[in-house]
Amino acid sequence: VMLHNREDTDSVYMIQHLSRILNYALRIKEYIVPLRAEISSLESYVTILNLRLGNSFDTEWKIPPSLLDTKTLKSLMQPLIENSIEHGIQKLPSNKRGKLTIEVSELNNTLYITVTDNGVGFDNAKLQEINNAIHSNEVFQNEHIGLKNVAGRIKLLFGNSGGCQIESNSEHTSVTIYHPIIE
């Protein structure tokens, strides 16, 4: 790309970020990773999405440096970010800029990771449908598979000590995943 079209810096930038994501996905074999590694991969993922969507949203990372070495599950947040963009921010009217916020906190030896968007949100009936779907015992579902996989991975590893909470209204949607601090 650099040799044939020196003007296309977005493509070069996108390829660099894609290579970081692939390196993370293929090279790091551990299932449990430092939050620092997960965030680094997610920064590349969010950059690619934003480039692809014409720089249509802003991202705010609220992560205390003291938590960067805390462990979490590999690739746990990517489906949450993907959903925020696809089902929230992309559905905003063209005159409203999207905002994605990723916040990490710790309370009572539990790690909380929240992904919030200022997208269109959904009503209580849809919220109930999504909660039912992600907490059901059905193995195959066409919708909500990303959230169901995230909730299932947390449940599998942490039992009732971990979980997933969703809040939504017409102005935002927040998905919080939580699990015990991994020693």
> What is the predicted pLDDT for the residue at 146?
85
> What is the predicted pLDDT for the residue at 72?
94
Distance, CA of 124 to chain centre: 22
What is the dihedral sign for C-alpha 49, 61, 101, 67? positive
The tens-digit pLDDT sequence of the chain (183 residues) is 555 555 667 777 677 767 777 776 767 678 899 999 999 999 999 998 998 898 999 999 999 999 999 999 988 999 999 999 999 999 999 999 999 999 999 999 999 999 999 999 888 998 888 888 887 777 655 667 888 889 999 999 999 999 999 999 888 999 999 999 987
> What is the predicted pLDDT for the residue at 61?
97
Joined together, the tokens standing for residue 32 give 């449990």
Per DSSP, the three-state class of 85 is helix
Joined together, the tokens standing for residue 180 give 């015990």
Tell me the HSE value of 85 on the side-chain side, using a 13 A CA sphere: 22
> What is the predicted pLDDT for the residue at 28?
64
> What is the predicted pLDDT for the residue at 133?
81
